[in-house]
Amino acid sequence: MTAIWATAPLHAQQVFDPAVTDVANSGDTAWILTSSALVLLMTLPGLALFYGGLVRSKNFLSVLIQCMAVAGVCSVLWIIVGYTLAFGGVSHGFLGDGFNLMLNNLGNVREGTTIPESSFVMFQMTFAVITPALMIGAWVERARFGWVIAFSALWLLIVYAPVTHWVWGGGWLSNLGVLDFAGGIVVHTTAGVSALVVAIMLGKRMGWPKTLMLPHSPALTVVGAAMLWVGWFGFNGGSALTATDDASSAIINTHIAASMAAVTWILIEKLKVGKSTAIGVATGAIAGLATITPAAGFVGPGASIIIGAAAAVVCFFAVSLVKNGFKIDDSLDVFAVHGVGGILGSLLLALFIAEGFGGTGYDEGMAFGSQFVAQLIGVGAVAIWSAVATAILGLGISFILPMRVSEDDERDGLDISNHGERAWDLD
């Protein structure tokens, strides 16, 4: 291995252990602040435009409003209680303590890192924003706005924060040896599985699948995907929590996996339907990005190419299986792309982390078999928790705030029925 791959880039709050210091490194701090901006850009406007272009024009504005409202609510909750639940002191390994409520008692430097704890809080907050926002793609065009906000808020505290603590906060999955560099389990598995459950609970859109529901603006979707692609450099590169070759290696792997997945996806389209599409290249890139996320700092570039190709093949057929096989209207393929991609990457990590494949190597006492079992337990436990908690939350909230709009409102479009506005004035 060359020097760039020789140092194991590890998610700092999980296993990075520099000498204890109370003075932040200015270069690392600047990189994490930049990465925070890049990850927030992924939600606003990247994800908003990516999803917004995929819906019909009468629902475009509702997607943008949901993304912004979810970002706002989850940011406030993260400051009040979310951060301490996810990254507070470890006791039983299931939930952080309340020592940092309202961001009280923050240290000058986050323990185990070289950055201010306030910078760490900000960076992790952008993850807490985008994860529930990813689920919006499952319920577009039919979910009631009030239910969306209430569900997203409680989901952050009951699903996302505990899982974050399990994997990244020193919790029980971390102690089992589960690895997740930037969120294949914490972000994509939780959001993907929960999105599938919500799609099943909500039911199909009116007329689906018999009525053709074409994206109203593939151009906006491609623009959104491009923003997500660039923002993902902060998502994965920032997860190194240092401005070193740990970050640059993660970024190289992120870019090459996305590139390979995008090319592979449009090749599959060409072979199956005779045309390569804008939606296809955008979706392929996102599938590659989601799949490389858990492994970005642990594998080499050759493995990233393989992971990108695998992401396109597996996620492409997962889209068809969910829609045509299971007849589930996961409107914008959140589970098939993000959920399946995150799970696939988390499992492939166990193989490609090996030094023989150009990876950083296994931790002491671990080998392929034990690492794969750990990854499988991590994915399984998180998927089950996400599914059960989502079902209970979704149903419980619906007793107060109905999940779905009326048929008339759905027919008119959510822009008018939920918000009294139109995205486009074409008169």
DSSP letter assigned to residue 404:
B
Alpha-helical runs (H) found in 78-116 = 83-87
Cα separation, 219 vs 49, in Å, equals 9
* Per-residue confidence (pLDDT) for residue 99, from 0 to 100: 94
CB distance 179 to 298 below 8 Å: yes
* Per-residue confidence (pLDDT) for residue 22, from 0 to 100: 80
For 229-259, the DSSP string reads HHHHHHHHHGGG-SSSHHHHHHHHHHHHHHH
Provide the residue type at 129 as one letter. Answer: V
Buried b / exposed e along 246-268 (16+ C-beta atoms within 10 A)? bbebbbbbbbbbbbbbbbbbbbb
388 to 190, 197, 381: CA distances (angstroms): 11, 9, 11
* Per-residue confidence (pLDDT) for residue 426, from 0 to 100: 67
Cα separation, 133 vs 398, in Å, equals 19
- For the beta carbon of residue 2, count every other beta carbon within 10 angstroms: 9
Q: Is 309 helix (H, G, I), strand (E, B) or coil?
A: helix
Per-residue pLDDT of the chain (427 residues; tens, 9 = 90+): 233 333 333 444 443 444 455 889 999 999 999 999 999 999 999 999 999 999 999 999 999 999 999 999 999 999 999 999 999 999 889 999 999 999 999 999 999 999 999 999 999 999 999 999 999 999 999 999 999 999 999 999 999 999 999 999 999 999 999 999 999 999 999 999 999 999 999 999 999 999 989 999 999 999 999 999 999 999 999 999 999 999 999 999 999 999 999 999 999 999 999 999 999 999 999 999 999 999 999 999 999 999 999 999 999 999 999 999 999 999 999 999 999 999 999 999 999 999 999 999 999 989 999 999 999 999 999 999 999 999 999 999 999 999 999 999 999 999 999 999 999 876 5
CB distance 73 to 129 below 8 Å: no
* Per-residue confidence (pLDDT) for residue 237, from 0 to 100: 98
Q: Is 97 helix (H, G, I), strand (E, B) or coil?
A: coil
Domains of the chain, CATH where assigned: 25-204+211-414 (1.10.3430.10)
Cα separation, 185 vs 344, in Å, equals 10
